[in-house]
Amino acid sequence: MASFVDRAQLRLKAGSGGNGCVSFHREKFVLNGGPDGGDGGNGGDIVLVADHNLHTLLDYRYRSKYAAENGEPGASLRRYGKSGESLEIRLPVGTIVRDKETGKVVADMFENGERKVLLRGGRGGHGNAKFATPTRQAPNFAKPGIKTEWREFTLELKTIADVGLVGYPNVGKSSILAAVTAAKPKIANYPFTTLTPNLGIVSHKGVSFAMADIPGLIENASQGAGLGFNFLRHVERTRLLIHVVDISGSEGRDPVQDWRTINDELSRYGQLERRPQILAANKMDLPDAEENLQRLREAAGDTPVFPVSAATRQGFDALLDHVVQMLQSLPVQERYEESPAEDLSAPVTGFTVRQEGGVYVVEGPSVVNLIASVNFDDYESMLWFHSVMQKSGIIDALREAGAKEGDTVRMDDMEFDFVE
């Protein structure tokens, strides 16, 4: 099924904030009206939403670039600009979102309906009315809105299920899923019939749990053979593995060797063979099954082995009894630890100071926004700029770096003398 996609990349941009307005009240018979420039509107956020009705990232293969609305600029008469609409990005439950640059997980969409603000919209700039004080009665400057940047993220869908069915192709995993749940996976007598993880809900003696049919693995799957590691990631979030083998050997393979081979592949992909596991010896209704069952039990040691037949629906009560018992003692699924994406709409934060050829260079995304907000031809705007540098710690950081009165400081494309 070509429509199943479990990896994608997105380029996202929150809305930029609208600029504040420089305006002075003008009215007949009113001389020297005060500042009345309004604030710009806030930019829209990028919001992730987990949706259990989605099962693939296919949509984001065809379109990968999304942006929220920008805030509108402020206007005279203290009119505020309209804030931009936030943009929802709907993702299947189980999607992991990573910052492409750092590789860190910024969102784990674990539960249906979960909402996470991935990128904050830029804040609108203040109009000049906000800068009026008893000693600054006619500020001739306003603050531009915070400008946002395009960011790149990697999406990775990992099926969330309590129990995962693993094993060679054509051993009956899909048939078992169909026998114990209401799921209707494609079933046929040829390898790789299942090309996507199928999910079903098992209800057994008052207990319900999710079961996933993971597409068939073969030798060297961890190196990309067959369907390769594209689907091994879907095993990662299961609490218990049911390892299905064709106990009759109807495909011409030894079921004991099949079990060992698949466990070897699981061990090469993040030591998944350590995941709690039980064996389902399927196709017990076929010849040679009883003889092979004894050999499998001897080889499996302490691993429980349950003889079943998906064709005759026999043996599943004992298997499911044991699954329910194990799930009650196993820890719940763990979420990924999240490192929120850097908020570029915040005030001056995350800056660095370095020395380059006798010049002290202050760098950082918020520094660029700060420089853009200053009217360097206006004395009062310069006083405000110096105040922000003091409050944000830039002055202290420059002093610690060795800057002295009169030294040259560069911020973005502006150079000026250091003044404490």
| Per-residue pLDDT tens over the stretch 220-236 | 444 444 444 555 677 77
- For residue 339, being part of any structural domain is answered with no
Q: Are residues 201 and 304 in the same domain?
A: yes
* Regions of the chain short of the pLDDT cut 50: 1-2, 185-194, 220-228
How confident is the model at residue 193, as a pLDDT? 40
- Beta carbons of 379 and 130 less than 8 angstroms apart: no
How confident is the model at residue 3, as a pLDDT? 54
Q: Are residues 280 and 401 in the same domain?
A: no
How confident is the model at residue 391, as a pLDDT? 84
Query: What's the structural domain count of the chain?
Result: 3
Is the torsion defined by CA of 228, 213, 196, 169 positive or negative?
positive
Q: Are residues 143 and 171 in the same domain?
A: no
CATH number at residue 303: 3.40.50.300
Task: Point out the domain boundary residue: 140, 157, 174.
Answer: 157
Q: Are residues 218 and 258 in the same domain?
A: yes
Q: Are residues 98 and 226 in the same domain?
A: no
95-99/151-157 β-pairing: antiparallel
- For residue 385, being part of any structural domain is answered with yes
Domain that holds residue 264: 163-329
Instruction: Count CB-CB contacts under 10 A for residue 287.
Output: 10
- For residue 337, being part of any structural domain is answered with no
How confident is the model at residue 69, as a pLDDT? 98
Q: Are residues 38 and 107 in the same domain?
A: yes
Q: Are residues 153 and 81 in the same domain?
A: yes
What is the C-alpha to C-alpha distance for residues 317 and 360, in angstroms, rounded to an integer?
73
Residues 313-322 have pLDDT tens digits of 999 999 999 9
**The whole model's pTM is what?**
0.70
Q: Are residues 144 and 120 in the same domain?
A: yes
What is the C-alpha to C-alpha distance for residues 173 and 134, in angstroms, rounded to an integer?
78
- Measured in whole angstroms, the distance separating CA 393 from the mean position of its chain's CA atoms is 32
How confident is the model at residue 214, as a pLDDT? 80
Q: Are residues 129 and 171 in the same domain?
A: no
Q: Are residues 85 and 149 in the same domain?
A: yes
